[in-house]
Amino acid sequence: MALTAKQIHALHDKMLHKRLYVIFSDPTDKPGDRSKVFPKHIAYQLEIERKGILFAAGPFVDGKGKPQGPGMIIIRAKSMAEAKRVAEADPFHKQGFRSFRIQAWEVNEGGFNLNVKFSTGTYTIE
């Protein structure tokens, strides 16, 4: 069933229009032991998660699930400048082991399912 332009605009107006910021994080050629910085990176991710800044994060993986190097961090921020401050504070970025670029992203479509079982204390996210 084809929608008219008016119907599409009406649907679009009801969408979420949630502004988030995507930080694309890429390994650099800087020599050094990245493994020493990794725990600090994870601690920072957990800190911004606790503060409600981190929406989602993780590495890009191959078909077998093996991390490929680059990663993506999606955050809540009030501006591009704030998003940049969050990205700059990541230990991998501060130490020069990763570079980053930021893209504003507007979430309009999609969703997820959360299933909580109180009796077993379990949950699934789909």
Residue 1 has pLDDT above 90, yes or no: no
Question: Is residue 72, in this structure, part of any structural domain at all?
Answer: yes
Widest CA span of the chain, in angstroms? 58
Q: Is residue 86 part of a domain?
A: yes
% of residues, the chain, pLDDT over 70: 100
- CA–CA gap between residue 28 and residue 95 (Å, rounded): 10
Number of domains the chain contains: 1
Question: Is residue 2 situated within a structural domain?
Answer: no
89-124 residue pLDDT tens? 999 999 999 999 999 999 999 999 999 999 999 999
- Structural domain for 75, as ranges: 16-125
- pLDDT per residue as tens digits for the range 32-55: 999 999 999 999 999 999 999 999
CATH assignment of the domain containing 52:
3.30.70.1060
Between CA 83 and CA 103 the distance in angstroms is 9
CA 89 remoteness from chain centre: 15
